[in-house]
Structure 1
């Protein structure tokens, strides 16, 4: 498989491992028009998306069913608030820190690749085994993106290049070609991933029921031959009048017994001249139509101009169209969610922009009664004033009189990135507080949400194992027999963190105790 090389690749290929793990600090929860104290399963995070993705690992690694991202296209246009240019000062600073002096020699394509690679590595970790990632891009970086995704997700996990006609009118102000579509590269975690089939009524009008078949609408035309060579299914069939229908070259689709049964039920019948079999396919037995990778029906997937109009409807008081000249259409994301999620799936967008992905999730939940959860990450200052504010207005409703749009209901919690768990010297950062440290250690061991326990130093139990974090920011802790006598929770095994251990190997084996030294043995994400 060909691989892509660029200046700085050696510095960023494993950089995701060096990104500091920062805690998420909840600022507020918004629920049905007002603030609430209870956390929501929906999250909007303000902060650098590389560090924010790292902060999601303990709770969400391998759990995100669908990832949609619309990263910078690297067009060189510096006029947008959503800066679609890798010469952004924040990125230049990061490149200088990670890549070093070589960053001064990077082309804009090198810089873009350095920015994207570690983020895609973390997204791959977050993606569920049965999940898929959808990445929108244009021709500036499409070829480069395909190569690094082949490397990170695996070439065999490439699903398709989804082409979306995002423009509803051709651009006549061009000297070459009007650019009317974007790419959306789709990769799965495993090569056996399949999209949900769609029940597209317009494409299923050929199902009729002229004879009032009790099994419902049907059509003739699906094959009765075997798609692969099956010697044991190569047999001839005798018709009621004694004629012989020779088997297809690869054989029939079913055994003699099955064909006889289908003839008796009417699913199969002989043609009037008894020279062939006709198969009746019923609508209620069809799982649907495989989605096309060409989305050009503007009524079904919408377009950028409609998306700008929707934004203006949500923010009539703000010149939002100047902030987001090419926002993604809500219908476009909704269609992705229909083919890539279930009703309880987690959806992640780490380049959230104006918040279209959350809008689409809320719309779809309202439509089918689902409980899909969204996680949005936005690094720019408008994360609260535009991204989160849009979601608030979608939840409660927006617009006036005839143009009013009913609210979807729902909630979300708004977070910012806090301090790192570990300092540069690898010691624990005591400024974040003991509970946040305990939460991190519990996540690192069990991948479960943390709940404070009444017993001192107990983190919790899982699978007959009790986890203790014997930690005091003001003194050195020692795991010894006197500490063991304070334990109240009975378990088959004990994992105990402390600064030191004075227990003998024999005693630890007797009580199935595993000692882990603070901070050395705490897992780094």
Structure 2
């Protein structure tokens, strides 16, 4: 996530759904500068806390959260993360170089870095992290055996300064280098002889000269560094957006997609889902697809953006990069990319916990059926089965609802049950049936709106 840094220059608006009267007064107000807005940091903390709390619930058990931030709220963010994720799940503060060459925009020193605060859901369960080797490095691995890929390299004049002659396959002695100086070796003579017998060492003639090659096994990758550089700057991100939107300036604070791609390459597997709850210009989508094209992965992304530019900039960027390999790299011939864009609808419940009838009965019916079965409601409503949602696993689900009147579940209204099932779950406003009768008939009553599940 890349939330507002709360610099006092961003003009972000506190627009959360809150009930506390002291916080409600902030709604719709532009968050001002220090000195002008004494509650600026309070607003930021109140905005961040519920989002981080929700993300901690959504995060996979082996998941990791990365949060971009600068010095303005870095210390506050660490306190929030410690409280929500646990201090023992802190991994590191990645430091990345956001610009090069200093700058005149800082009063005292040129601020060239930002942070990526990193926490795990369960740090103790995480595997070790490795960054994959690049293609140029992997070309060094020419051979393969049952232990994996390896290459052969010459270790003459090693720092160990262990001197001994080597007998070559033709009987000649390899003892001095071209300058006549004694050859020194990385390994002791007994180990050299043992490795030679096991095939861990080869003595090979190349262009009429004998050379000694030692096997070096490839590891899973290289350890990621806590200081990230040479992966793009804010200036690179601005240039990239300029190219995508054909020389239009559309966004001020975009991150370089290489930064996000680099972080994702450390911790994600082929089929993982990456959620960005402050999507901004859509950098994460481009980063995920670019990474997929590099390693033939099948990662998916979910972007969330509450600002008015979500369709005009965020979704539009995704459309453009998916259709142009210049922005995401060459894709596999069998790969097809697509994405869906949704707008958040009206809430199912009003502030007084009653159903929000402006949503429409169809959406309410869909919502209730999903809360019960975790399946989408595909059966259309009909006159004959007006109150039936659908049958699922031998249970009939009924929503006995009328917009302009109360519904009562009694002996006279049992005719709403139109299809025989082993059990019935019926939502209604009131129930007058005897508990023993309902138990005998396998009927479960749920009161509208009290018993409708809230997420």
Per the TM alignment, residue 214 of structure 1 is displaced from its structure 2 partner at its CA by: 6.4
Say yes or no: does 1:379 pair with 2:299.
no
Match of 2:225 among 272, 288, 292: 292
Matches within 5 A, 1:351-500: 351-397=278-324, 410-453=337-380, 455-461=385-391, 464-481=394-411, 483-484=413-414, 486-487=416-417, 491-500=421-430
Cα–Cα, structure 1 residues 379 and 71, in superposed 2: closer, same or farther, change >3 Å?
same
Cα–Cα, structure 1 residues 343 and 496, in superposed 2: closer, same or farther, change >3 Å?
farther
Matches within 5 A, 1:324-363: 324=252, 326-363=253-290
Bigger shift: residues 485-494 or 327-336: 485-494
Query: Would the aligned equivalents of 2:6 and 2:44 in 1 still touch at CA under 8 Å?
Result: yes
Residue 92 of structure 2 corresponds to 160
Matches within 5 A, 1:105-254: 106-171=38-103, 174-191=106-123, 192-194=125-127, 197-201=130-134, 215=147, 217-218=149-150
SS in 2 for 1:99: helix
Say yes or no: does 1:515 pair with 2:442.
no
Query: Would the aligned equivalents of 1:303 and 1:329 in 2 still touch at CA under 8 Å?
Result: yes
Per the TM alignment, residue 343 of structure 1 is displaced from its structure 2 partner at its CA by: 3.0
Deviation per residue, 1:278-311 (Å, 9 max, x gap) = 8989746x44344333222x1xx22222111111
Structure 1 Cα separation of the partners of residues 228 and 328 of structure 2 = 28
SS in 1 for 2:62: strand
Structure 2 Cα separation of the partners of residues 317 and 505 of structure 1 = 70
Structure 1 Cα separation of the partners of residues 146 and 306 of structure 2 = 58
How many equivalent pairs are there? 389
Query: Would the aligned equivalents of 2:14 and 2:47 in 1 still touch at CA under 8 Å?
Result: no
Residue 23 of structure 2 corresponds to 99
- Residue segments in structure 2 that go unaligned for 5+ positions in a row: 28-35, 153-186, 201-214
Deviation per residue, 1:473-510 (Å, 9 max, x gap) = 23332333455555355555432211122322222222
Residue 40 of structure 1 corresponds to none
The structure with higher relative contact order (CA 8 Å, sep 6+) is: 1
Indicate the RMSD between aligned Cα atoms, in angstroms.
3.9
Query: Would the aligned equivalents of 1:479 and 1:502 in 2 still touch at CA under 8 Å?
Result: yes
Structure 2 Cα separation of the partners of residues 309 and 410 of structure 1 = 24
Residue 524 of structure 1 corresponds to 454
Matches within 5 A, 1:60-71: 69-71=1-3
Per the TM alignment, residue 96 of structure 1 is displaced from its structure 2 partner at its CA by: 8.8
Match of 1:309 among 230, 236, 239: 239
SS in 1 for 2:339: strand
Structure 1 Cα separation of the partners of residues 430 and 19 of structure 2 = 40
State the TM-score, normalized to the length of structure 1: 0.64
- Residue segments in structure 1 that go unaligned for 5+ positions in a row: 1-68, 78-83, 221-269
Query: Would the aligned equivalents of 1:195 and 1:340 in 2 still touch at CA under 8 Å?
Result: no
Cα–Cα, structure 1 residues 446 and 475, in superposed 2: closer, same or farther, change >3 Å?
same
SS in 2 for 1:473: coil
Residue 210 of structure 2 corresponds to none
Structure 2 Cα separation of the partners of residues 188 and 406 of structure 1 = 32
Cα–Cα, structure 1 residues 486 and 175, in superposed 2: closer, same or farther, change >3 Å?
closer
Query: Would the aligned equivalents of 1:466 and 1:495 in 2 still touch at CA under 8 Å?
Result: yes
Match of 1:505 among 435, 443, 447: 435
State the TM-score, normalized to the length of structure 2: 0.72
Query: Would the aligned equivalents of 1:314 and 1:398 in 2 still touch at CA under 8 Å?
Result: no
